[in-house]
């Protein structure tokens, strides 16, 4: 690999971290052994700042550039994490919407509702054209769907390793 800046993060397709690099797994490193890297990232990703500091943990994470998004005004601090791999929706997460009922005012021709429409009864009708509701429908007819089960909240992905340079060129600031 070409000479890297200390603290540079790269994607790497191998199943090992090359010499002078480490996986971005959030592991603690001794400051005494990696003092140059510590001066660059400090305790941004963890550690006690006295004897240890942590590398970024990119397992299950999508990197996002730090700073403020001018389009949305969202702000991302260096080292900030957010998001979850799966989520359970509740009523507040779903936009307001309706479920129109397919019905007709003509009398039904069968006693079984399977595959049919709600229809007016030939005797003692429940619906009067232009009328107002006179009662509550049976819960089986209008019950909510779902079941408070979490679903995946992840974009399509391909797993690769993220590695960070432990040695190399010390970057100068502009």
- Domain containing 6 equals 1-59+159-174
Tens of pLDDT along 14-46? 999 999 999 999 999 999 999 999 999 999 999
Asked if residue 170 is part of any domain, the answer here is yes
In a domain, 127, yes or no: no
Euclidean distance between the first and the last CA atom of the chain, given in angstroms as a whole number: 25
CATH number of domain containing 37: 3.90.1340.10
Note if the pTM is more than 0.95: no
**H helical segments located in 24-77:** 35-41
174 occurs within a structural domain = yes
In a domain, 4, yes or no: yes
3-class DSSP state for residue 92?
helix
- Distances from the Cα of 144 to the Cα of 6, 31, 90, 140, 148, angstroms: 55, 56, 12, 9, 11
Say how far apart CA 109 and CA 44 lie, in whole Å. 71
């Amino acid at each position: 690999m070409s000479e890297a800046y200390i603290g540079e993060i790269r994607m790497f397709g191998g199943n090992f971290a090359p010499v002078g690099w480490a996986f971005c797994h959030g592991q603690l490193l001794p400051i005494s052994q990696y003092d140059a890297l510590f001066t660059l990232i400090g305790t941004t990703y963890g550690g006690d700042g006295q004897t240890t500091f942590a590398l970024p943990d990119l397992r299950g994470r999508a990197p996002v550039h730090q700073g403020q998004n001018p389009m949305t005004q969202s702000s991302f601090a260096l080292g900030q994490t957010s998001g979850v791999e799966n989520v359970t929706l509740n009523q507040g997460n779903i936009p307001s919407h309706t479920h129109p009922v397919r019905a007709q005012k003509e009398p039904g021709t069968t006693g079984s509702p399977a595959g049919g429409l709600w229809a007016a009864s030939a005797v003692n009708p429940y619906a009067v054209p232009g009328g107002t509701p006179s009662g509550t429908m049976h819960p089986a007819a209008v019950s909510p769907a779902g079941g408070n089960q979490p679903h995946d909240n992840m974009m399509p992905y391909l797993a690769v390793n993220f590695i960070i340079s432990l040695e190399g060129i010390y970057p100068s600031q502009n």
